[in-house]
Structure formats: C-alpha cells, structure tokens
C-alpha cells in the first residue's frame, strides 16, 4: 500500500526571492515530501541553486523557471536523483509544440515518486485538457501545475476541478502573489488550488501555524500543504461513469466576483430531448437530431459540437470533434451534451463541473439535455461561468463570447492544430490500448 504524499505549495508575493531562514526551518522540520515553486519564479541559470536547496532541505521540488523565450520547469528528487525538465506548451514566446521532434510521450512528463505516478504541467497548459489527460491516462495519480501571475480564483478553480474529475487524480497548483512588477490587478489574487480525485476542494494547512484555509482564503508569502492518498484515485476512476456512486463535491465559489453586464449578441436555444431550435437575431434553425454540424444564422457561421453522454468526460473527445472541422476558426461554437439517462446527483457532481470548464476552455456556451434534466452554462468573458435556467417556454438565452470564432481558444498554442490532433489521438490510443 502506497503511503500518503505530503505536498507543499509555496505562495511567494515577490518574484526571484529565495526561501527566508524561517521558511527553510519550517520546511526542514516538516514532513513535506514535495514542494511546488511557481512558474517563472527564477531564471533558468539559477536552477542549480534550487536543486542545492532541495538537497539541503531533503525535499523534492517542482519549480518553474524563465529561460528567455522558453518557460521550463524542473522536477528534482534528491532521494533518487530524479531530474527532468518540462517545457511549457502554451502561452509562451516559444512553445514545446513548436519543436520539430515534439511527441507527447517525450514532452508530457510523468515520473514515479514515492510509489506514485506524478504528471507535470505549467500554467495555461492545464487549460488544454488533453495535456493533463495524457498524463492521467499514463497512470498519474497526482497532477502538478506551477503558475505565474495572480489569477481569478473561480476561473482557474473550475478548470482545475474538472481536470481532477475527468482524470480521477489529485490536482495541486500554486501561483505568485503579484505580477512581475509587484502589482496585483483587481479581482486577481494569489491562490493555492488543491482538489481530490473526485473534484472536491481540499482544505489547505498553513505550514508553521497549522491554520486551515480553503482555496479562496490563501494569502501570499505562505506555504500551504495537502496530503495526497494515491489509493483514492483507483476508486475515483472506477466510479467516474457510475451515476450512483459518486460523492457530492463543493462548488467553486469566489466572493470577490463582480456582476458582469453583457452586451454581446445573444443566441436563443430551445432544447428538449427531441431536438433544438436555435435563434440568432431574427433567424432560426430547427435541428431534429443531435449530430455535430455546421450551420449559418444571420450570415454568421456556427458549429454545433454534439458529444454523447459520458464522452464529454474524456479530455480528447472535444478536440477530436472540433479540430477535424474545416475552417473551424471562422465559426462560433455551441456545445451540446446529450444523455439518454442522467441522474441529477451525477449531473451536479460530475457533468456540470466538467461542462463549466469546457465553457472557459472553448469560450462557448454549453447545454446538456436529458429526458428529465436540461440546463445550460454561459461563459462570462472566459472568467466565470454561470448556470442558466430556461424560461417558461424552455428557451435558454445565451451570450456569445466577444471573440469571433474559435481562434481565441487556440491562440495559446499558436494554432498548432496538427500537434493537438496528435495528442488527442495519443490519448485515445492509451484509453483503448491500441497501438
């Protein structure tokens, strides 16, 4: 039986600083097995200093570094001399995806640590579900992410919660307490995110005081710890598609979120189990089946991506659907999830949090339809998602994201669609056991 792993997430306010003497003492006297240091916290040339610190404190380290146009992370375990580099895949000057010899088996890193498979990503890589999905299918029970500037808790929390659910794995992420210039934008704060394999937020323990915090209560210049029990991942994966054996989860809340006034054109969707009526401006279309298809309303190109039942939970599925469509960047996306049987409890604890994340990732509204349960989710400028209830006529009034088409969703990977198709295919091969 694998022992629990104690993970620490450092939340420094200032970039490029080292551990204080007090922090070094706290780490050395703790039972930490692994410590996360945010993305870009130091320069790549100083990585040996951090390895030396890990040696001195007898703790493994996953830390993010600025390497000019590249952004890299190192995973170093002094106990086993494990030492590998992860190169960021998205939202950087140079991306791992742009390397000619890129292949998911080499670029998406997992390692064995204390008897547990660990997967690593950096910052926005967690937005692209097949990255963590590939590592989860490789057996990762613990998915780690180190991020840079302060983030909107609800937006990042919803995405990371979905990564935990769809992979049946623990997810832990840490961020900086300020931007590189020391400022914090309104609404953006420093956070440590931690979710168990069922997607429930984990209460964090502040190192040194043993104070308990949730993810919206963390404060800069502290180290927070979580205990990871790899045995829980097996149960989570066994019950992922079991509608009657999943525990309830806590929804992501953000008390600092402000009400957003939306002025974008709206699309009205009337959905029931027999079909859809979609209206945009003064133009309407009736769709009597639940098949993926392009359509045009009021001279605007749309694409309806219809994902059947629990296929929506597979990280690669939506990418396979969308990236195979010609000229998809010129279209706006509507995501439909169709179930023949969907228990409300399962919808709330599994399907809904995953669909919320899909809204943020693809800048798209999403609707789920079942004989006894229908609901829709709306993205607010890719920051927050909200549940939409139908009116008395069964219509969902959905806003379209401000960006035109899907180019904004693919921009962080520089439109490397062929590489994204490759990783989606690799995920499917791992899932089915095919070559």
d(CA 254, CA 155) in angstroms, rounded, equals: 9
Cα–Cα distance list, 184 to 92, 124, 144, 199, 215 (Å): 21, 19, 24, 28, 17
Position 149 confidence tier, pLDDT thresholds 50, 70, 90: confident
The pLDDT score that the predictor gives to residue 409 is: 84
CA dihedral for 264, 270, 276, 279, sign (positive or negative): negative
Tens digits of residue pLDDT in 307-336: 999 999 999 999 999 998 888 878 888 999
d(CA 5, CA 7) in angstroms, rounded, equals: 6
Q: Which residue has the tokens 């990732």?
A: 361
- Give domain limits for the chain: 5-238, 266-428
Q: Quick one: which of 45, 58, 121 has its CA closest to 87? A: 121
Q: Please report, rounded to a whole number, the percentage of residues in the chain having pLDDT higher than 70.
A: 91
The pLDDT score that the predictor gives to residue 368 is: 85
CATH for 5-238 is 3.60.110.10
- Pair 144, 195: CB distance under 8 Å: no
pTM metric for this prediction: 0.94
- Residues 142, 67, 426, 328: what is their CA dihedral angle, to the nearest 10 degrees? 120
Tens digits of residue pLDDT in 38-90: 999 999 999 999 999 999 999 999 999 999 999 999 999 999 999 999 999 99
Please state the rounded mean pLDDT for residues 353-367: 87
Position 271 confidence tier, pLDDT thresholds 50, 70, 90: confident
């Amino acid at each position: 039986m694998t022992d629990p792993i104690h993970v620490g997430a450092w939340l420094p306010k200032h970039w490029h600083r080292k551990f204080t003497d007090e922090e070094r003492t706290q780490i050395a006297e703790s039972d930490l097995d692994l410590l996360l240091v945010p993305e870009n916290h130091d320069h790549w040339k100083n990585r040996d200093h951090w390895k030396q610190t890990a040696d001195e404190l007898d703790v493994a380290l996953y830390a993010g570094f600025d390497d000019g146009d590249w952004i890299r992370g190192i995973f170093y375990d002094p106990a086993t001399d494990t030492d590998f580099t992860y190169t960021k895949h998205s939202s950087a000057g140079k991306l791992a995806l742009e390397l000619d010899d890129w292949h998911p088996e080499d670029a998406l890193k997992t390692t064995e640590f204390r008897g547990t498979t660990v997967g690593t990503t950096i910052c926005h890589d967690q937005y692209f579900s097949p990255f963590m999905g590939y590592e989860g299918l490789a057996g990762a029970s613990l998915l780690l992410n180190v991020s840079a500037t302060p983030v909107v808790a609800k937006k990042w929390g919803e995405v990371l919660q979905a990564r935990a659910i769809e992979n049946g794995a623990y997810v832990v992420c840490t961020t900086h307490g300020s931007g590189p210039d020391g400022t914090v934008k309104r609404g953006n704060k420093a956070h440590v995110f931690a979710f168990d394999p069922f997607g429930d937020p984990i209460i964090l323990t502040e190192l040194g005081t043993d104070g308990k915090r949730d993810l919206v209560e963390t404060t800069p210049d502290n180290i927070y710890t979580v205990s990871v029990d790899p045995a829980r991942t097996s149960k989570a994966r066994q019950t992922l598609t079991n509608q009657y054996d999943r525990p309830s989860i806590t929804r992501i809340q953000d008390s600092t979120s402000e009400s957003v006034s939306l002025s974008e054109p709206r699309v009205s969707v009337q959905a029931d189990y027999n079909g859809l009526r979609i209206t945009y401006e003064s133009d309407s279309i009736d769709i009597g089946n639940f098949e993926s298809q392009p359509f045009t309303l009021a001279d605007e190109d749309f694409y309806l991506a219809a994902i059947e039942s629990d296929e929506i939970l597979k990280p690669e599925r939506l990418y396979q659907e969308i990236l195979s469509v010609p000229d998809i960047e010129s279209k706006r996306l509507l995501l439909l999830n169709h179930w023949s049987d969907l228990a409300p409890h399962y919808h709330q604890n599994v399907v809904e949090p995953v669909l919320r994340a899909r809204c943020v990732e693809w800048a798209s509204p999403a609707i789920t339809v079942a004989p006894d349960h229908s609901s829709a989710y709306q993205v607010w400028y890719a920051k927050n998602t909200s549940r939409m209830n139908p009116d008395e006529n069964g219509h969902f009034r959905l806003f379209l994201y401000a960006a035109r088409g899907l180019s904004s969703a693919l921009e962080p990977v520089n439109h490397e669609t062929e590489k994204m198709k490759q990783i989606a295919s690799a995920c499917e091969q791992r899932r089915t056991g095919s070559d």
